Amino acid sequence: MSSDDLDLAILRALQADATQSAGAIGRMLGLSQPAVWRRINKLKADGIIMGRRLDLNREALGYPVTVFLGVKLATKGRVSLEDFERAVTAIPEVQSVRHVLGLYDYRLRVVARDLADFERILRRRIMTLPGVGDVEANVLLSEERLPGPL
């Protein structure tokens, strides 16, 4: 395996299970523990590994509903984007915010306790954000994360 291939193999392993030790990954790839550790640190320093995320059972934790919102801003300009972003990221139920180019300006991932709770979040928190125009909601039914081109 080339050096780049080794990095990709390490990324694949950590993407599947980030709790694996450098030693365990090393044994799998035929590398020493310190060699894997150095590579992981380099991947972190280069910003390729952004961090870790927990895989949680959302139903068991009381958030069975996930909705993706496409949000179009009614007024544009640098100031309104910043205002919107600041306000939207402060909403605890908003899990992710992406600025996109296309039919919408932002894509939000929102969790809720049930549909009534979602309606409350939408009406009281999202629709009242500065500059909000059209909003489209799609309720998440299933989700798969794939390894991608690793």
| Interface positions, 100-129, toward another protein (CB under 8 A) | 100-104, 106-107, 109, 111
For another protein, which residue of 9, 25, 63, 71 counts as binding (CB under 8 A)?
63
DSSP of 10-39: HHHHHHH-TT--HHHHHHHHT--HHHHHHH
For another protein, which residue of 5, 114, 134, 136 counts as binding (CB under 8 A)?
136
Q: Is 146 in the site for another protein (CB under 8 A)?
A: yes
For another protein, which residue of 49, 87, 120, 135 counts as binding (CB under 8 A)?
49
The stretch among 14-22, 27-35, 72-80, 123-131 that binds another protein (CB under 8 A) is: 14-22
Question: b/e for 11-32, b at 16 or more Cβ within 10 A?
Answer: bebbeeeeeeebeebbeebebe
For another protein, which residue of 5, 17, 114, 119 counts as binding (CB under 8 A)?
17
Alpha-carbon distance of 66 to 139, in angstroms, equals 6
- What are residue 111's DSSP bridge partners? 66
For another protein, which residue of 97, 125, 130, 135 counts as binding (CB under 8 A)?
97
User: What tokens were used for 73?
Assistant: 């801003």
Alpha-carbon distance of 112 to 84, in angstroms, equals 21
Count of residues touching another protein (by CB under 8 A): 62
Q: Is 46 in the site for another protein (CB under 8 A)?
A: yes
Alpha-carbon distance of 143 to 43, in angstroms, equals 27
Q: Is 21 in the site for another protein (CB under 8 A)?
A: no
User: What tokens were used for 52?
Assistant: 């870790």
Nearer to another protein, 30 or 148 (CB): 148
C-beta of 128: minimal distance to another protein in Å? 18
